[in-house]
Amino acid sequence: MNPVTLLPFIVLIGAMFLMTRSAKKKQAAAAQMRNEMQPGTGVRTIGGMYATVKELHDDTVVLEVAPGVHAIYAKNSIGAVLDDAEYNRIVHGDGDDIDGAIVPDDASSLTEAAGADEPVEADADDDSSDKAKIDLGKKAEADDVEPKDEPKAEPKDVKADEKADGEADAK
């Protein structure tokens, strides 16, 4: 056989080997993480629930999901073992120091000048501030006016034998 014809098969087998190798490494790391759990450790399940480990068994773990509330989970359902600082920050809100600006609930403060009722101009050096502003809102007078019915055009004289377009023999 020609080695050139075997080349696609060799590349395919090599790619499969590399993919299974990385997957096995991830599985081994997850199993090691689950085996290193100890009672009192904070964990996150694969469903996103945060809890504290109370007891460990061969294939199961007892988690305290709330004070006095215990649940039995499979060890495979533990998604991450958290260190104490991260667990306390997430669950109890410890260390939630907000640095930076607070985002407002509405966008009005982003479009208005501080303490003014007029919108902020895009360019202060532009002479467009002298121009009249365009009002894009509905006019109050236009809402009060009702459209008038226009009289319909009378049909032309139609002979009894002739039918206009759209008319049918209704008897």
Measured between alpha carbons, how far is residue 131 from residues 109, 112, 122, 134 in Å?
Answer: 24, 19, 14, 9
Mean pLDDT value across residues 113-121: 54
Mean pLDDT highest for which of 75-79, 108-112, 144-148? 75-79
Query: Is the torsion defined by CA of 28, 29, 34, 35 positive or negative?
Result: positive
pLDDT at 135 over 90: no
Residue 62 forms beta bridges with which residues? 55, 72
Pick from 38-47, 74-83, 119-128, 155-164: least confident:
119-128
CB atoms within 10 A of CB 165: 4
pTM, full prediction: 0.45
Give the Cα separation of 135 and 138 in Å (integer): 8
The pLDDT of residue 142 is 53
Give the Cα separation of 68 and 54 in Å (integer): 11
pLDDT at 51 over 70: yes
Query: Is the torsion defined by CA of 66, 68, 71, 72 positive or negative?
Result: positive
The pLDDT of residue 130 is 56
Q: For the chain, what is the mean pLDDT?
A: 76
Mean pLDDT value across residues 15-36: 86
Q: Give the per-residue SS3 of 83-139.
A: CHHHHHHHHCCCCCCCCCCCCCCCCHHHHECCCCCCECCCCCCCHHHHCCCCCCCCC
**Concatenated DSSP letters of 14-61:** HHHHHHHHHHHHHHHHHHHHHHT--TT-EEEETTS-EEEEEEE-SSEE
Give the Cα separation of 159 and 171 in Å (integer): 17
